Structure 1
């Protein structure tokens, strides 16, 4: 680590017992997969590896490489994320990286590799996202969700012995390839820097479950994502290299609650490397200075995994650290059990007022893209709301709620897009899905915490949020693929009891 350990003492009997109880609790919450499920994942990865190698050979021959060189061109797949860290659950996806030699282009991957996968009977729900920050193919293979990313190296072939840790492999690559390789390089580096892998895995499983149950696990909404949580737990493992997982969880919450942000969390000193690319440095880049809770990735080029955090999501995360620290102190003393830590969040009861953001469209395919675009811009709305007088916190819920409403006429269609529940009269005939008008909606919620009145003040607190709302609506409607006739966006106030329905 960047500082020496705080303590190297072995765990006490009580800490070992607390860890055993934690593992039992995680099992009850379904956080571990069975042997058969693990075997199935291995088989799927084996098939993916074969399909990818075959694809590389096919493209090599198309590029007029001799048969012998095409056969030697290779190609490798690497896993990263929760699966590679060994903390995936039953329904987790497998983040997978395909590494190809220099003559295989990204266009080949998104055309021919995608077609090769589509032709397989095991593959369903295929969606290519070639234009995203990290281009990805998303699909299910034998019902296991896969996120497949691609990178081409400046090498004539990719042998099975390739080690991605070599920084020189990044030379002469485009930014998208560097970003695609980054996921795998960061995951491997975290595992290398953790002193006790078993304790790290149990503690990280616990933190992931806790963050999801408390609704603070979402990079896109401005909370911490999977990479950030892994780095934070790894840092606490470095500080207590011999501690049992139960003790690490307790130390984690206390350390994080008291952490002096924006001091960054680092697993090792930030390194310069062979490329002319940006490495996180608040002394040079004003943008990096704005990061509120910087958690820095350990692989070159180091980046901030938490650049999306806003004032509101920081405040909510801080509250959750405090709550969790108090519970885990009591767990260690035998005054509470782990289930209390995993109590479901009270988001829909916490605030008196909420904003409801409804994205709507007329088909499932359009809705997937449109709601994804609206979701990716919600953080901009949060940041604008944070400048509003008398508003203390604008707290986004971490996911949207999808719904399909069958409508009999245009009026019902408009109502459904506004979030109105369409209720049929008793005895009214059922609508035929083939002829009814379908409205697809995704509804997001933002909890609004209004500043308390000044003592002795009779005047109510007023919120003037029309400007941030119209600004946000203008922003999402300026999307290149926005179609006025088939896509809708509505932002409106709702009270607590409506939001929790």
Structure 2
């Protein structure tokens, strides 16, 4: 009996047809291309990940046991059976990780273990119990939105978060704790709820797709496509990994028996025509045990402003795409249209799968004008904090730019460029703060980012915008750290000039009012850059940097030709 209509998703499937031989062959070709694109890691590297997780489980058990000994030293049974449970989430849990991928990891513990205990014991236990030299770059961030310990273990990047389970004083044997049980959310604070959410959402996604292997291969393809097209970065205003996963999962529900190649093709066909802001949902909204907010645009006005809502399937349901702006939505839709055209031609045999994964042209062809948002710090540690904050606010600047009548699109690039510079005096320091790469500690002959001033009838003015009531940063010493985020501008038709001084000053003042901003450590500059003045390091080997039209040279050549005649 066919039960797909009742089983998968909130609507009946569009088709339950089995793959044709041509679709099966196309899936084989897709798999071969993804292997050529190096999206799969070796079996040896995968085994190393598994060993790392086993080590983390061993350390988590010892962590809980030590807390039990400290808090109830007379309770022998509690101490004997004390254990934690390590879960993964994100790409590793979904089974779509590749070379260099990090492992998003969650440590859970019984109710008597607190977050303070986690940060008191776990970092030192990592150093104590891991093999010598295995753990490097250990950083604990207790006051983050989701408190986290970051480190590398045998060269694999680990993001380790924590939550207790307030309803359990003793955990069941390993492998038997099911975090999708809503009862485990009782008694937790907001940070603990956020920590549990990643694993709960990832597990729900896997439970809600008809065929996990089909889903995983299709998701690998969509992730690679989104990364190559520079539309993969939640913090900047594009979908992140979990959003692309939910969108692919929804297509799998609509075609429960299709091959992965068909899912990829149907993904573009369906998502390019999706009736936003109708939400993408994998299941109907759950009721839960908590008095917490769940996504509901009929009740919460702010939820109705979400442009492309994709709703997490685990309670409490939330919109995972609240960061998307009008500009990033426009870019996503353009790319979905492009992807549909390409996959249609691939299906018809006119193109190959490799054509879907061509790299973006953000720097080489897409824009004439850019804003460079340059976060500067005096120390490496200060820069991690400051640049991370500025990155999280770039989407706010994009939103302000979108409201300028002369701007059609403000498109942020999906990653920042980190650079280190060495300077000798205040003048060189100021030059670096304002975009110069002349003192970068690498072989780099790039010219300074320069101001756009009345070129081709369009004037862009931001460089001289001043930030008021903020102390001038003193000399930054011999070494300076910068991270630059680029925002590509598309001007509205007929635009002749563009004064962004107000938007720039507003953004700089907002960042400078952050409670952790320190004028002696941090600096923020926003400069305009023409495409011909972009630094060399944003171009990869084989890419051609835009050049200024050689009008004068062409005219001289014509004149010489006429003289010869």
Structure 1 length-normalised TM = 0.95
Q: What is the alpha-carbon distance in structure 1 between the residues aligned to residue 247 and residue 525 of structure 2?
A: 37
Aligned mates of 1:254, 1:499 — CA distance in 2: 36
Q: Name the counterpart of 1:94.
A: 103
1:250 aligns with 2:258: no
Offset, 1:464:
2.6
Report the counterpart of residue 135 of structure 1 in structure 2.
Answer: 147
Which structure 2 residue ranges, 5 or more long, are not aligned? 1-8, 441-475, 537-565
Q: What secondary structure, in the 3-state scheme, does the structure 2 residue paired with 1:4 have?
A: coil
Q: Helix, strand or coil for the counterpart of 1:43?
A: helix
> What is the aligned partner in structure 2 of residue 465 from structure 1?
500
> Which residue of structure 2 aligns with residue 175 of structure 1?
190
Is 1:365 the counterpart of 2:377 in the alignment? no
Equivalent runs, 1:8-407 vs 2, <5 Å: 8-65=16-73, 66-119=75-128, 120=130, 121-154=133-166, 155-159=168-172, 160=174, 161-348=176-363, 349-407=365-423
Separation in 1 of the partners of 2:23 and 2:515? 55
- In the alignment, which residue of structure 2 is the partner of 1:490? 525
Contact kept in structure 1, 2:90 and 2:242, CA below 8 Å: yes
Q: Secondary structure at the match of 2:529?
A: strand
1:445 matched to 2:486? The reply is yes
- The alpha-carbon deviation at position 408 of structure 1 amounts to 2.2
Q: Is the 8 A contact 1:451 1:461 kept in 2?
A: no
Q: Does the aligned pair in 2 maintain the 1:186–1:298 contact within 8 Å?
A: yes
Aligned counterpart, 1:5: 13
- Over residues 59-98 of structure 1, what are the superposed CA-to-partner deviations in whole Å (9 max), with x where a residue is unaligned? 1111124233112122101111111111000111111111
Q: Residues 104 and 160 of structure 2 are in contact (CA less than 8 Å); yes or no, is this contact kept in structure 1? A: yes
> Could you tell me how far 1:196 is from its partner in structure 2?
0.9
**Per-residue Cα deviation, 1:311-333 (whole angstroms, up to 9, x for no partner):** 00000000000001100000011
Separation of aligned partners in 2, 1:387 and 1:99: 44
Structure 1 residues 225 and 423 mapped into 2: Cα distance closer, same or farther (>3 Å)?
A: closer
Contact 2:432–2:439 (Cα < 8 Å) also in 1? no
Give TM-score, length-normalised by structure 2: 0.84
Q: Per-residue displacement from partner, 1:416-468 (whole Å, max 9, x unpaired)?
A: 121112269xxxxxxxxxx9701111111000110112xxxxxx532232111
Given that 2:372 and 2:526 are in contact with CA atoms closer than 8 Å, whether structure 1 keeps it comes out as yes
Q: How many angstroms apart in 1 are the aligned matches of 2:498 and 2:436?
A: 24
- Deviation sequence 1:306-361 (CA, Å, 0-9, x none): 11000000000000000011000000111001111111100112111100111111
Label 1:423 to 1:266 Cα distance change in 2 as closer, same or farther (>3 A): closer
Q: 2:485, 2:320 → 1: CA distance?
A: 24
CA contact (8 A) 1:388 1:464 kept: no
Displacement of 1:271 after TM fit? Answer: 1.2
Structure 2 distance, partners of 1:131, 1:278, is 23
Secondary structure of 2:238's counterpart equals coil
Structure 2: distance between partners of 1:193 and 1:39: 27
- How far is the alpha carbon of 1:17 from its aligned partner? 1.2
Tell me if the contact between 1:75 and 1:157 (Cα under 8 Å) persists in the aligned partners: no
Q: Distance in 2 between matches of 1:366 and 1:346?
A: 33
SS in 2 for 1:463: strand
Q: 1:258 aligns to what SS in structure 2?
A: coil
CA spacing shift, 1:240–1:493, aligned 2, 3 Å: same
Q: Supply the distance in 2 between the matched residues of 1:56 and 1:369 (Cα, whole angstroms).
A: 30
Q: What is the root-mean-square deviation of aligned Cα atoms in Å?
A: 1.4
| CA distance in 1: counterparts of 2:192 and 2:521, whole angstroms | 35
Unaligned stretches of 5+ residues in structure 1: 425-434, 454-459
* 1:208-233 C-alpha deviation (Å, 9 max, x unpaired): 11101100000000100011000000
Question: How many residues matched?
Answer: 485
Distance in 2 between residues matched to 1:301 and 1:16, nearest whole Å: 38
